[in-house]
Every structure is written in structure tokens, then in C-alpha cells.
Amino acid sequence: MADLLPALRATLDIFPSTDAKHPGLVLRDPFGYTRSVLVIPPVWFGALSALDGAHTMEQAEQVSRRLTGIELGHERLQQLLQLLREHGFLQTPEFEALRRQRIAEFRGLPQRPMSHAGAAYPAIGEAAQQLLTSFFSGGSTPGNRITSFSPQPKQRRLLAIAAPHVSPHGGIRSYVSAYQQLPELNGRTVIILGTSHYGDANCFGVTAKPYTTPLGQLEVDQEALSFLRARAGSALVEEDYCHAIEHSIEFQALFTSYRQRQPPRILPILCGPLAHDPSQPGMEPPPVRQFLDALETLAHQRGEELFWILGVDFAHIGKRYGDEQAAQNDSARMSEVERHDMERLRALQAADLRGFRSLVHPAHPKLDTALAPDVLRWCGYSPLYTFLRTTSPHSGDLLCYEQWNIDPGSVVSFGALRFYA
């Protein structure tokens, strides 16, 4: 049998180009194994669909001809394969070697370097300081659907804040609303729970590496980390490579550094998707339960020595996220999304763990042993669930709610909350 062509990597981000001058599909590696970003023109779409590890060269040509009506030929198809192979987009031995190299490089670093500096925020301290000062001096974000709140202060100890992890330029109103609440920490440890967009399900990634920001370095609380290592079990992933490329904690480290006179110690935890046991809806799989029990014990033992920060976004709607229909933040559709978001946010403000879980993952209406997927794609569910489960807060306040067109056809919702002990 003729040799099968290699498959496109399953972990790539693939979405339509929004540049009218360069139409096609954007291929991007969210893991950062390769730094390249490719735009594949429509003429190649048929050939791309055949790169699944199950087609030969001749079959790929046939698929392309059937889908596009274009005769590519061996030479042009080989050119496409070579391009994808050179840039690390195919599942090949060369890519596996590149992946191992990148993981080894991260594990060998003495600190976690900034991965989004220069794009999401300045890499130079003075420029970053000036930008953040302008944000906290009243800068706004035009074009967002914004709902602001003025909750009454509670006569209880502030336990946590929740901020977005969307681009600071897109969600600055919510970042400011959250981080204006951050007290002077004075030697306390900050546990930062962030969404792990690319981590394995039912896993929690940690690192001992200090987080570098343009305003200084945040050291990791090694005692707290050692506590989890000894008790958290197999759900704990040490030196998780996802820390190298994930922004959900990086942005919180930046804002925390800005709002503190002295950099606090942190315990950064990336929370992967939570897949509850389908045979027992509402029950945590044993490895997840062991990790959460360990974190709950740490929270109980350290008490007021700890402060919590959550890096979370809410709904993801539109073409970028797999919907056929484009989304606009001022549309009736997004008003309906806001209504459902508010149901979940009311459960969070009431610190109602079961109610929150049932709204995000309701029991499947047809299968008794399954849970329905989250139709709103709340990527902040895992950190929020982890926080509620391990700290049992008394209540919370919603400070700000926003919807932002992250591109012309896709909307993300997010906001700011504070929680009380």
C-alpha cells in the first residue's frame, strides 16, 4: 500500500482569517512549539481536509479535486506538505523532537519568562508602568457592552478577587474593577487559579519557577507548593509546560505586581477542564477529589495568610469558537447570553457550588449517566469551581460585566467579582 500522508496536528488552532487581503484559514500553534502562524489560501482547503493520517498522495489529490475543482498535482501538494512540515504543523517525528525540545527548554529555565509581553502589554518596566497607570486613571474600552455595578461593602474579610484573562486592552474596565479591590498583601501568599486552555482534563498544573513581569518577579511559595506535592496525588502536574504559554495567570501576575508595593509570593495553579464522572453526575473523579481536598486543607491551615486571585473569562460565542453564525456584542443573541451569564453569576455571588455546577453542566435530558456540555463555553468554570470547592466563601459581589468582540465574528464575556470569607 502507498505511504499515508502525515496528519495535521490535532492541537492546532484553526480559524478563518479576518484579513480581507489574505483570505483563508489561519493555522496557529497555541502551545508555542512553533512560533509560526500560517494563512492557508482557499485553494488548499481540500488538501488540508485530507491530512488526517488516512489518505495517500493520490487520495489527497482526489479529495482536493472533488472539493475545490482544482487539480493540484503531486508537486504543489508536496510544496504544501513541506511548508507544514518545516513549520511544525504536521504530526511527524520531526515535530515530536521539537515538542520534547521545547518542554526540556522550559523545565531548564530558572524562571517563567513573559510570553505575551510586547503584544498584550509592554515588556519594558517604565512603559508597562505608564500603561497600567493610564488604565487605572480612567481609561475605557470603546465598543464593549458594559454593565457596571455598585455593590455595598460587606462587613467581612475580603478573600478573593476574580478578573478576566482576556487581552487587557479588551477588558480593562473589568481588570480595573477587580484590582482596585486588591488590598496591600504585606507578606501574604497569593494563590492564583487560572484557566488551563491547553492542559489535560482533570489535571492541575503547577510550577516552582518565579513569574517574571516587567515590574519585577513574583517568587513561588515553596512551602505551599511542597504541601500540595505531598498530598495532591496524580492530578497534580509538576512543571506543567502549559505555564510556558498560558496567559490566564501571566496577566494576573502583571496586575498584581502593579498594585503592590512589595511583590508577594504566589502559588500559580492552572486548572484544566473538569470532566465529572459520567457514571455519577455531580461526583468528582477520585484524582480531582484528592487534589481539591489537599488544596482545601492548605486553605484551612493557612487561613488569613492566603489571598486568592482567579483569572477567568465567561462565555465564548461565534465563529472562532465553532458556531456557524457570527456574533456581535450588541445583538439580541448576546443579550440572551448575558441573561444566562447572570444566572451563573448569581450562583457565584451566593457561593452556591451545586447551583453553579448544575447551570454550567446540567444533567443530560436524554442520558441519565451523562452531563450536557456547556453551551456557553465558560472557560473559567474550572478555576471558579476549584475556588468555591476549596474555600467555601460566604458570598460574593459582581463588580462589572462586559462583552467584547474579540474579532468581527466572535464575542467573549467576562467581568470582575470579589468574594468574602
Same-domain check for residues 238 and 374: yes
In a domain, 181, yes or no: yes
Q: What are the mean pLDDT values of the chain's consecutive 10-residue runs (421 residues total)? A: 83 85 90 90 85 87 81 83 92 93 95 94 96 85 73 85 96 96 96 96 97 97 98 96 96 98 96 76 84 98 97 95 90 95 97 94 56 86 98 96 94 97 95
Strand partners of residue 229: none
What is the distance between the alpha carbons of residues 272 and 4, in angstroms, rounded to a whole number?
34
| Number of compact structural domains in the chain | 2
Q: Which of these three, 107, 135, 161, is where a domain ends?
A: 107
Same-domain check for residues 153 and 185: yes
Pairing of strands 306-311, 189-195: parallel
Please list, in sequence order, all residues whose beta carbon lies within 8 angstroms of the beta carbon of residue 72, skipping any fewer than 6 positions away: 43, 47, 61, 64, 65
Same-domain check for residues 138 and 97: no
| Alpha helices for 9-54 (secondary structure H) | 45-49
Same-domain check for residues 270 and 330: yes
Domain limits for position 193: 115-420
pLDDT of residue 369: 43
In a domain, 198, yes or no: yes
Q: Which amino acid is at 376?
A: L
What is the distance between the alpha carbons of residues 43 and 56, in angstroms, rounded to a whole number?
19
Strand partners of residue 117: 121
Residue 81: CB atoms within 10 A of its CB come to 18
- Does an H or E element contain 16, and which? strand 13-16
Strand partners of residue 214: none
Same-domain check for residues 77 and 198: no
In a domain, 141, yes or no: yes
Same-domain check for residues 155 and 272: yes
If you ran DSSP here, which 8-state letter would residue 123 be given?
A: S
Same-domain check for residues 155 and 290: yes
Q: Are 54 and 91 in contact (CB under 8 A)?
A: no
Query: Nearest 5°: phi and psi at 127?
Result: -65, -40
Same-domain check for residues 72 and 136: no
**Which CATH number does the domain housing residue 164 bear?**
3.40.830.10
pTM for the structure as a whole: 0.89
In a domain, 2, yes or no: no
pLDDT of residue 363: 67
Same-domain check for residues 98 and 132: no
In a domain, 398, yes or no: yes
What is the distance between the alpha carbons of residues 228 and 247, in angstroms, rounded to a whole number?
23
pLDDT of residue 367: 43
- Does an H or E element contain 184, and which? none
Same-domain check for residues 101 and 132: no
Same-domain check for residues 140 and 85: no
Please list, in sequence order, all residues whose beta carbon lies within 8 angstroms of the beta carbon of residue 378, skipping any fewer than 6 positions away: 313, 314, 315, 316, 344, 360
In a domain, 1, yes or no: no
Please list, in sequence order, all residues whose beta carbon lies within 8 angstroms of the beta carbon of residue 122, skipping any fewer than 6 positions away: 128, 131, 214
Q: Which of these three, 64, 81, 107, is where a domain ends?
A: 107
State whether residue 161 is helix, strand or coil. Answer: strand
Same-domain check for residues 74 and 136: no
Q: Which of these three, 107, 142, 173, is where a domain ends?
A: 107
In a domain, 3, yes or no: no
